[in-house]
Structure 1
Amino acid sequence: MPLLETIETALNTFATYAWGTPLLVLLVGGGLALLIYSRGRPYRHLGHSIDLLRGVYDNADDPGQVPHRQALSTALSGTLGLGNISGVAIAISTGGPGAIFWMWVTALVGVTTKFYTASLAVMYRGPDSSGEIQGGPMYVIREGLGRRWMPLAIFFAVAGLCGLLPVFQANQTVQLLRESFALPLGWVREDGSFWFNLGVGLLLAVLTLVVIVGRIQRIGRLAVRIVPSMVVFYLGLTLVVLGYFWRELPAAFALIFTDAFSGQSVAGGALGTVISIGVSRGAFSNEAGIGTESLAHGAAKTTEPIREGVVAMVGPIVDTLVVCTCTALVILITGAWQHGEGIEGVSLTSEAFSRVFGHWGPLFLLVMVAPLAFSTIVTFWYYGVKCVSFLFGTGAQRFYTPVYILLIIFGAVASLTMVNSLVIGMYAMMAIPTMLSTLLLAKRVNRAAHDYFTALGLEKRAARKPRHPGD
């Protein structure tokens, strides 16, 4: 139909421009500005996150809904999964090995960005229509910048409501199950798998409903079990592959660094293409500055905003510097990226693992990805509930949840080109209010960080000298 084709083209164009140079400059340039403005303070206190995650500073009477480690696990459950598996493969396929270097750059800058956004998420929590204290970019804008900035808060909530739909995760989870499990066993045919897709979609919907009945507390408990165990499992798989091809490791790292500044692996040797692909994939992977991290970290039980900022810094390290690097090295050292003609995304990663584990490779990936994809689905429900409650009041949750459950089933059986373009484009839009509000309020985070770390004896208080208001 011409109308549908026109809409699809328009949405594809929207998604392309949404993740264009201006947004990447805002995310990476803004993060670099925060790094310089903070004088590297977040990195100097990264070790403090260990004590926080161990629960040394936990207090059950503090305001909030979940402990620090559950808030971090919830945030990670929204980023870890298919993006770390297929996203890295797409980056290498389209931008060459050098794109991985620029993903690393995005993560290193993102450490600072998450420190600021998560600190603000606790610093400027505000009441919803039921009087319950909530965190997230829309509350940061409303409580920190004032009512005249409300259009920016509404813009984030609308973008979040459209960008945090479960259709992509449901669709890709079903596809991975079908290709890695059902097809080899002969349960489905290549030319038709509607009933299998529907059955898996219904199962995902029921399991999601069981979890979300317990709200953020149950989501946090689920995430804190799934995320660490799946990361450890994936690291174990990767170590086996690295051990098998250990002689290729130096060449793989050399290729990443040299290609990052040459662009020879992409058409025409376009260095700008390598940088753009690497930065966009990195930003999409760890979500630093997008705002979703604030929705999760804003629920932490603490009276000290800087504590949650320190905890949030671990996110880009685990997500991009560890998990994405594991995926990249496996694809490069096995040679799958050069010899897997016509293979892209999760299939390329699957091919790489198959070179060591045989037909078990895709199944091992499935064991890791399926739980993480499910945890993403339930986490996105929580994010969406926060957005819809901000826009329409907490009573609107009873309408949002049934729609969300139906979208899981729809995503499992439908072709989602148009919807995915909308989701990806609106995801990018969330970064605009998040980064703008963070940059405007950065001075207050610096002041709070100085006071907090000084009180702990982690910084020397400036002797008898007036402190700069931005410190």
Structure 2
Amino acid sequence: MESLEQFIIKFSNIAWGTPLLILLLGGGSWFLIYSRFIPFRYLRHAVLILTGRYDNPDEPGQLNHYQALSTALASTIGMGNVSGVAVAIVTGGPGAIFWMWVSALIGVSTKFFTNTLAVMYRGQDDQGQVQGGPMYFITEGLGKNWKPLAVFFSVVCLIGVSPLFQTNQLTQVIRDVILIPNGVETGFITNLITGLVIAAIVALVVIGGVKRIGRAAGRLVPLMVIVYMAAVFFILFSHPGNILPGLQLIITDAFTGKAVAGGAMGAVLITGVRRAAFSNEAGLGTAPLAHGAAKTSEPVREGLVAMLGPIIDTIVVCSLTALTIIVTGMWQHPDVNGITLTAQAFEKGIPVYGPYILIVSISIFAITSLFAFPYYGGKCVTYLFGTRWVKLYHVVYTASILIGATSTLTVIISLIDGAFALMAIPTMVSAILLSPKVMKEAKSYFARLKEERA
């Protein structure tokens, strides 16, 4: 078992090497320059689309723009924004957050291209239902000869969207904040019981299908962001003198930190990009699975809505988590990692009540992610085997929650990281090859938009 764990960790580290960085950062930069910064030029229009101004219930799809973004955010605004940020700081220092920012800003253009493609090249499942995602824009956009790449994406995506990490960290915070302080002896049994409770909650929503998932995400995502941000702002403004120095530390440490001074600047950059990918999933292909189900016949609109994800997720939420850890000084305690580090920062920032506020917030974070992931996985199963296997997949997915609750963080995060790295290859390669098609569609859309405004 130990040999398997070491293999998973080594594989993940190899997968997140220079070639993948070039693919993600280089590909995203190409999208940004090639589009002449369209994503940033049309931010206001993207917000207007999100408010429902352009919604048409008669258009093809299953979710409106808001529900599609909420479902995507339900998976991205999760433990990656709380414990993932803590892992980034412990692994690469505060400077890793700077590279998360860079990756997210580039990821805005990546999300625009990949999610526009998700609507441009939608396919149908064996029930005639409209479906979208990388596997469909690979086969519909590039042709049937590219199907092996689509199959590869679907297989590795099933690993990437497993509930292991979210469940592991939710179990850890329940153990550290509730059980241990109250004298409960913890171990495998308590972790298993926690996993069973989480599995039961997830099963209630997942069995209801995509519409119930969309409604649940639409209601819970705003709530979880508001509660979490309110607590974080309280902590930050309780340490007003540390906010600007904290921001300066993030920037300077990216170029002068201990890891950089030791000749490991590449390691810091890799850590930042890995954690950014873990938090906003730009270029991995998960968001197109949600946005491909949007009720719209205008692909560019959905691409514009989707590009808001990295801004909300990494630039806003991850930054607030990082500053909370930094301004409270907890980043200088590398003996703890993951959600426990963030919990200690909340404990220091809001004595007594802080950890409980955090556990409410991250419970919603984790549960909403656990709602969205089986929707993504179900699409992959549908593509690979047909709709009749989705119910069985949901059973397997729910059962695997118990594995996440009883496993170690290092192995789980390496397994998910490795899967994400493999998912990025077919997603980015196909999106780059199809980028001229996206630009043609974008020019047509914005020309028509200009005429309507005139």
- Per the normalisation by structure 2, the TM-score is 0.96
Q: After superposition, where does 1:11-160 map in structure 2 within 5 Å?
A: 11-160=8-157
Query: 2:41 corresponds to which letter in structure 1?
Result: R
Given the alignment of the two structures, is residue 306 of structure 1 paired with residue 303 of structure 2, yes or no? no
SS at match of 1:252: helix
Q: Deviations over 1:389-437 (max 9, x none)?
A: 1111111113212211211133223457655533331121000000001
Q: Deviations over 1:5-50 (max 9, x none)?
A: 3322222211111122211211111000110100111110011122
Query: 1:261 corresponds to which letter in structure 2?
Result: F
- Bigger drift between 206-215 and 416-425 goes to 416-425
Query: 1:132 corresponds to which letter in structure 2?
Result: Q
Query: 1:369 corresponds to which letter in structure 2?
Result: I
Q: Distance in 2 between matches of 1:398 and 1:235?
A: 36
Match of 2:225 among 213, 220, 231: 231
Query: 1:379 corresponds to which letter in structure 2?
Result: A
Q: Distance in 2 between matches of 1:83 and 1:177?
A: 17
8 A contact 1:454–1:460 mirrored in 2: no
Shift of 1:267: 6.5
Given the alignment of the two structures, is residue 204 of structure 1 paired with residue 198 of structure 2, yes or no? yes
SS at match of 2:43: coil
Match of 1:249 among 243, 247, 268: 243
Query: 2:274 corresponds to which letter in structure 1?
Result: S
Q: Distance in 1 between matches of 2:2 and 2:336?
A: 26
- Bigger drift between 382-391 and 347-356 goes to 347-356
Query: 2:180 corresponds to which letter in structure 1?
Result: L
Match of 1:240 in 2: 234
SS at match of 1:47: helix
Shift of 1:138: 0.1
Q: Distance in 2 between matches of 1:235 and 1:422?
A: 30
8 A contact 1:96–1:266 mirrored in 2: no
Q: Distance in 1 between matches of 2:164 and 2:277?
A: 21
Match of 1:385 in 2: 378
Query: 1:149 corresponds to which letter in structure 2?
Result: W
Q: Distance in 1 between matches of 2:383 and 2:340?
A: 39
Match of 1:468 in 2: none
Q: Distance in 2 between matches of 1:391 and 1:416?
A: 30
Given the alignment of the two structures, is residue 360 of structure 1 paired with residue 360 of structure 2, yes or no? no
8 A contact 2:172–2:340 mirrored in 1: no
8 A contact 2:254–2:260 mirrored in 1: no
Match of 1:464 in 2: none
SS at match of 1:214: coil
Q: Distance in 1 between matches of 2:94 and 2:263?
A: 13
SS at match of 1:61: coil
8 A contact 2:78–2:166 mirrored in 1: no
- Bigger drift between 129-138 and 349-358 goes to 349-358
Query: 1:237 corresponds to which letter in structure 2?
Result: A
Match of 2:403 among 402, 410, 414: 410
RMSD across aligned positions (CA) = 1.9
Q: Distance in 2 between matches of 1:113 and 1:336?
A: 33
Q: Which has the larger radius of gyration?
A: 1
Match of 2:173 in 1: 176
8 A contact 1:252–1:329 mirrored in 2: yes
Q: Relative to structure 1, is the Cα distance of residues 416 and 437 closer, same or farther in structure 2, using a 3 angstrom cutoff?
A: same
Q: Distance in 2 between matches of 1:114 and 1:59?
A: 23
Match of 1:422 in 2: 415
Match of 1:259 in 2: 253
- Structure 2, unmatched stretches of 5+, are none
Q: Distance in 1 between matches of 2:282 and 2:451?
A: 26
- Per the normalisation by structure 1, the TM-score is 0.92
8 A contact 1:79–1:376 mirrored in 2: yes
Q: Relative to structure 1, is the Cα distance of residues 458 and 223 closer, same or farther in structure 2, using a 3 angstrom cutoff?
A: farther
SS at match of 1:456: helix
Match of 1:296 among 274, 290, 301: 290
8 A contact 2:176–2:340 mirrored in 1: no
Match of 1:373 among 359, 366, 379: 366
Given the alignment of the two structures, is residue 328 of structure 1 paired with residue 325 of structure 2, yes or no? no
Q: Distance in 2 between matches of 1:400 and 1:367?
A: 29
Shift of 1:117: 0.6
Q: Deviations over 1:217-273 (max 9, x none)?
A: 111111111111111112111211121111122211222222222233567153222
Given the alignment of the two structures, is residue 270 of structure 1 paired with residue 267 of structure 2, yes or no? no
Query: 1:45 corresponds to which letter in structure 2?
Result: Y
SS at match of 2:294: coil
Query: 2:326 corresponds to which letter in structure 1?
Result: L
SS at match of 1:39: coil
- Structure 1, unmatched stretches of 5+, are 462-471
Query: 1:156 corresponds to which letter in structure 2?
Result: F
Q: Distance in 2 between matches of 1:10 and 1:199?
A: 29
Q: Distance in 2 between matches of 1:458 and 1:231?
A: 37
Match of 1:315 in 2: 309
Percent identity between matched residues is 52
